[in-house]
Structure 1
């Protein structure tokens, strides 16, 4: 046995520990960037109309996505046989959902928006069962039931009943989550061969242009009245939250267990609620905290492969 073997083993353990620490740090970066996205949207729509705000965010992000695609050598254009799918992604993943999210945050808090959008992975399960004929196991049905029952209680605790003015905003945010979930499932059906960089780059650019032009025509924004804080939030959303969070997430996708990584969707609403409460200067009510914890715990159950573990 060589005298160098123990040192080599120690170095291997050390390099693995460093790799795990880097992955954990990047995981928190994604949670933080996606968790603060909702507060960024809230700050933007303080002085920028929702259509214009969505368009500007994507127009800021597009050049960086384009540069990243060129750097990686990924194609920017979708395959010709997927032009209909390209239009679907542009409209139903980027254009309409992000307008609805911006509109929703005009009327409800950033933390509640994040909680509503956290339903999206659960909606993916439902669409997968309907369109892909995938089974939904009993534990996931239980988690979905607990999660949505908690969501109803959260809305009641916030006074957002059917007759409330903010209920339309709640429906807008849930519709955005529904469209994102549908896009994920349709992508699994029809776009699995398309690079994630290709999937995002040109649709973001085109969606940004469409939203911005629609904003100019319908909202007639006064750019001189946009606050410096809103401009800063737009830069943050376009450069850090959209591009940085996306790149780090897909970097981790190749290095972390998919089940563990999927808990980003459970943790980022926690960041959003805490940061939103701090920004708005409002304490988190005990009933809101309880129902939020129950909602996220219910949705977390849908991500755990309990049936596989029980069989083992």
Structure 2
């Protein structure tokens, strides 16, 4: 008896996928603009406070899962935004950071192999090598050589997020909005506390923030964090991962091109080559990871 075939993608599924790619791709611009207007730790705290306020009705104690939820909040809330916001504050070549930001995909695969004993075949090994190789190539570009600190911080941010994503697998069954309520609460508390110590006066100045600058933070909170994640969860509830994962491959391309246009970054030949190598590696990993396992005879 043949297995039930998954439902085909409907027009609204494609619209949701397009929105997810768009908000994730444009988010790097919003974060860069927000950390130029507000010190990076305070900007991250304000972003997560918005997430908390949106999800607060879903904030609840989950018996037996609180240690994991707290750790997830520290990783995907506080630590991730510390690295990402600082990287964008100290860097001018945002397009290069957009490329390095794709390392979360190979990091997630490596962590799955190490901690979950997942099997990995040659194509995905090649994808990992290409993903990291493309980013390493950027360091040799004269237009990027001054952004090594930013690239390193972005890489650490993607690693923190990948570890958090690994934890989310152990939180299966916990509603997505409950996860983000805890991420918002814990992340905002940590970032505001750090800002009070390391960015004197930053929190006190937040009420004077211009509406346009607050709009960038609002876009990151509601667009990237909420619309992007909820949209992905909605798609994964309707379709198998083999169908959904390849739909997200447009976001890094949008991020690189949009940041180049927004900030006037010249895409040098070496950046284009490094970006293509990295994104090809990410595509290989994504497509191979999305393939359903062969049925056991």
Structure 1 residue 101: Cα displacement: 0.3
TM-score (norm 1): 0.82
In the alignment, what sits opposite 1:73?
none
Structure 1 residue 228: Cα displacement: 4.3
Structure 1 residue 183: Cα displacement: 1.8
| CA–CA distance in structure 2, aligned partners of residues 308 and 241 of structure 1 | 26
Q: Which runs of 5+ in 1 are unaligned?
A: 1-15, 70-75
Q: Which runs of 5+ in 2 are unaligned?
A: 1-6
Bigger CA drift: 302-311 or 129-138?
302-311
In the alignment, what sits opposite 1:242?
225
In the alignment, what sits opposite 1:25?
15
Structure 1 residue 159: Cα displacement: 4.8
Give the alignment's Cα RMSD to 1 decimal.
Answer: 2.6
| CA–CA distance in structure 2, aligned partners of residues 50 and 87 of structure 1 | 22
| CA–CA distance in structure 1, aligned partners of residues 289 and 28 of structure 2 | 31
Structure 1 residue 78: Cα displacement: 3.8
Structure 1 residue 104: Cα displacement: 0.3
In the alignment, what sits opposite 1:254?
237
| CA–CA distance in structure 1, aligned partners of residues 158 and 254 of structure 2 | 18
Structure 1 residue 126: Cα displacement: 0.5
TM-score (norm 2): 0.86
| CA–CA distance in structure 1, aligned partners of residues 39 and 226 of structure 2 | 22
In the alignment, what sits opposite 1:204?
184
What secondary structure does 1:179 align onto?
helix
Query: Quick check: 1:23–1:256 contact (8 Å CA) kept in 2?
Result: no
Structure 1 residue 41: Cα displacement: 0.4
Aligned length: 285
Query: Quick check: 2:241–2:290 contact (8 Å CA) kept in 1?
Result: no
Structure 1 residue 218: Cα displacement: 2.0
125 and 235 in structure 1: CA distance in 2 versus 1, 3 angstrom threshold? same
Match of residue 212, structure 2, among 229, 234, 237: 229
CA offsets 1:127-153 (integer angstroms, 9 cap, x no match): 111101111111100111122111111
Kindly indicate whether residue 251 of structure 2 is the aligned counterpart of residue 268 of structure 1: yes
| CA–CA distance in structure 1, aligned partners of residues 290 and 84 of structure 2 | 35
Bigger CA drift: 275-284 or 129-138?
275-284
What secondary structure does 1:52 align onto?
helix
Query: Quick check: 1:30–1:264 contact (8 Å CA) kept in 2?
Result: no
CA offsets 1:227-250 (integer angstroms, 9 cap, x no match): 543222112222222222222221
149 and 228 in structure 1: CA distance in 2 versus 1, 3 angstrom threshold? same
In the alignment, what sits opposite 2:4?
none
| CA–CA distance in structure 1, aligned partners of residues 102 and 265 of structure 2 | 22
138 and 237 in structure 1: CA distance in 2 versus 1, 3 angstrom threshold? same
| CA–CA distance in structure 1, aligned partners of residues 290 and 225 of structure 2 | 35
In the alignment, what sits opposite 1:302?
285
In the alignment, what sits opposite 2:54?
64
For the pair shown, which has the larger CA radius of gyration, 1 or 2?
1
Match of residue 25, structure 2, among 35, 58, 62: 35
Query: Quick check: 1:46–1:230 contact (8 Å CA) kept in 2?
Result: no
